[in-house]
Amino acid sequence: MKKIRVYVAGASGKMGQEVIRTILKEDDLLLVGASDTRHQGMDVGFVVGAPRVGIDITGPLEIGNLRSSRADVLVDFTNPQSVLKNSKTAIMAGVVPIIGTTGLDEAEIGEIRTLVEKEKTGAFLAPNFSIGAILMMRFARESAKYFPNVDIIEMHHDQKLDAPSGTALKTAEGILEVREPMIQGHPNEYEKIQGARGADIAGIHIHSVRLPGLIAHQEVIFGGLGQALTIRHDAFSRETYMPGVMLSIRKSSELTELVIGLDNFLD
């Protein structure tokens, strides 16, 4: 079996390290390069707490290093600024970038699309690499066809600043593709204390729990005659993203266009 050759940008970051640790355990994947401004010149195994790998961390990503590595894909979970630059470098080098950021705007995504078409190389971009979370959103969308009444409870650690979470908002958007806006609850219901009924998006109520100790959890609860249907996802650690990243590597290596969203790689 020919192994898929993977280059990792941002190798010293938390996600970069996790990606590398996971790749090293997969039989069909081969780590062929790693870039980061930190730990330059150190063996990547040492940086991620694993045995020596034989690959040193280069400085910032360069097209020469990428080319000589003969990588199939570049995994990039760095910040939006680096991501755009790195992705372009990868595409020019004929390497498919796998981009994990929510920070690119429409214009920047347009730039990537144009370059992909010109260079006839693929690119993959996803705001969320959690397969479990994506299945949750998909099931929520399906359930809403039969159970229009739904509340979303998302629960995170108390250092999270924004509420509701991006995933909760995306879940609601998905539901609203199959369900009309409507008034949920009793038309005459009232709040004795403001906010009790949560955030209201076209009738869907989202409740944001923030507590120390929690990590990232979401419940989507559908209520119907005499029943409830609940879909819950718990993300316990950064590892939660790894099955999605590995799936993306396997599905992206032969891409010849820009694909957005992990959902495309699930049956």
Distance in Å, CB of 205 to a copy of itself, minimum: 7
Query: In whole angstroms, how far apart are CA 35 and each of 7, 80, 151?
Result: 8, 16, 43
Rounded to a whole number of angstroms, the CA Rg of the chain reads: 21
φ, ψ (nearest 5 deg) of residue 52 = -55, 135
Residue 17 interacting with a copy of itself (CB under 8 A): no
Distance in Å, CB of 254 to a copy of itself, minimum: 21
Query: In whole angstroms, how far apart are CA 106 and each of 103, 109, 112, 150?
Result: 10, 5, 10, 31
Of the listed pieces 3-11, 49-57, 81-89, 143-151, which binds a copy of itself according to CB under 8 A? 143-151
Q: Residue 71 or 98: which CB sits closer to a copy of itself?
A: 98
Angle between helices 166-176 and 131-144 (to 10 degrees): 30
CA gap 148, 175 in Å, rounded: 9
Residue 156 is a catalytic residue: yes
Among 89, 240, 248, 252, binds a copy of itself (CB under 8 A): 240
φ, ψ (nearest 5 deg) of residue 157 = -55, 155
**Strand, coil or helix: what is 54?**
coil
Look at residues 172, 142, 168, 145 and name the one whose alpha carbon lies nearest to residue 233. 168
Distance in Å, CB of 11 to a copy of itself, minimum: 19
Site string (198-237) toward a copy of itself, x via CB under 8 A: xxxx---xxxxxxxxxxx-----xxxxxxxxxxxxxxxxx
Residues of each annotated binding site: 10-15, 100-102, 126-129, 157, 166-167
Of 3, 118, 145, 160, the active-site residue reads: 160
Residue 264 interacting with a copy of itself (CB under 8 A): no
Among 99, 242, 249, 258, binds a copy of itself (CB under 8 A): 242
Among 43, 142, 173, 263, binds a copy of itself (CB under 8 A): 142
Site string (159-198) toward a copy of itself, x via CB under 8 A: xxxxxx----x--------------xxx-xxxxxxxxxxx
Residue 33 burial (CB < 10 Å; 0-12/13-18/19+)?
buried
What value, to the nearest 5°, has the Cα angle with vertex 183 and ends 146 and 133?
A: 50
Residue 92 interacting with a copy of itself (CB under 8 A): no
Distance in Å, CB of 183 to a copy of itself, minimum: 10
Residue 254 interacting with a copy of itself (CB under 8 A): no
Residues of each annotated binding site for NAD(+): 10-15, 100-102, 126-129
Active site residue ranges: 156, 160
